[in-house]
Amino acid sequence: MEGDRRVGVAVDFSACSKKALSWAVDNVVRDGDHLILIYVHPEAPYEDGQMQLWEATGSPLVPISEFSDPQVIKKYGVNPDPETLAIVNCLARQKEIVVVMKIYWGDPREKICEAIDKIPLSCLIIGNRGLGKIKRAFMGSVSNYVVNNAACPVTVVKVNHED
């Protein structure tokens, strides 16, 4: 992947992450890029073999084409929705790009920043759930944390709840 742009998109298969992915496809990703989907599992049961194996480093980069295989989905404990897979599969066909997924286990704020440094990413696109001030104060904002701690440019795509 040397010399090519590595565009990261944080995904959790929610409406806001799909909007961020669509925005990245329309505005950032271009031929020759590597699109890296960053997915973070919340703390999982420690008996999970993949978590023990890859807890410190995250999973290997998994080609998105493998996520249509039920065994692969089960192995990583990821349940990608068909709409997200359709977006990235269509993108991979239309533009000459490589699409992979990197899976982490733990706190999304810390793991997304870790991915930026370890992969390393050229830029990151992340969705914003649109929490109100009170919820954001109690729960914290992943996008706010990433913007303030990331070592690369970060674009936050806000969700319009009226859509």
Q: Which CATH number is 41's domain given?
A: 3.40.50.620
pLDDT along the chain (163 residues), means of 10: 79 90 93 93 61 76 83 80 86 87 91 95 88 51 90 90 53
Nearest one of 53, 20, 41 to 123, comparing CA atoms: 20
Beta bridge partners of 63: 100
CB of 131 within 8 A of CB of 141?
Answer: yes
Beta-bridged to residue 103, according to DSSP, are: 39
Cα within 13 Å of Cα(88), Cβ side: 29
Decide if 64 contacts 88 (C-beta within 8 A). yes
pLDDT at 99: 92
The number of folded domains in the chain is 1
Q: Tell me whether residue 141 is in a domain.
A: yes
Q: Per this entry, what is the length of the chain?
A: 163
> Cis ω on the peptide bond leading into residue 120 (within 30° of 0)?
yes
- Is residue 150 domain-resident? yes
Q: What pLDDT is recorded for position 82?
A: 86
Q: Give the relative orientation of helices 15-27 and 82-94 as an angle to the nearest 10 degrees.
A: 10
Tell the residue number behind the tokens 């999982």, with chain if given.
44
The pLDDT of residue 161 = 57
The answer to whether residue 163 sits within a structural domain is no
State if pTM tops 0.95.
no
What pLDDT is attached to residue 50?
57
Task: Note the pLDDT of residue 136.
Answer: 47
Asked, for residue 39, whether it belongs to a domain, the answer is yes
Is residue 1 a part of any domain in this protein?
no
User: What does the alpha-carbon distance between residue 138 and residue 85 come to, in Å, rounded to a whole number?
Assistant: 33
Q: For residue 73, give its domain range.
A: 6-158
pLDDT at site 73: 76
Structural domain includes residue 40: yes
Q: Please report the pLDDT score of residue 1 as a whole number.
A: 42
Beta strands of the chain (E only): which ranges? 6-11, 34-41, 62-63, 98-105, 123-128, 154-158
Q: Is residue 82 part of a domain?
A: yes
**What per-residue confidence (pLDDT) applies to 5?**
93
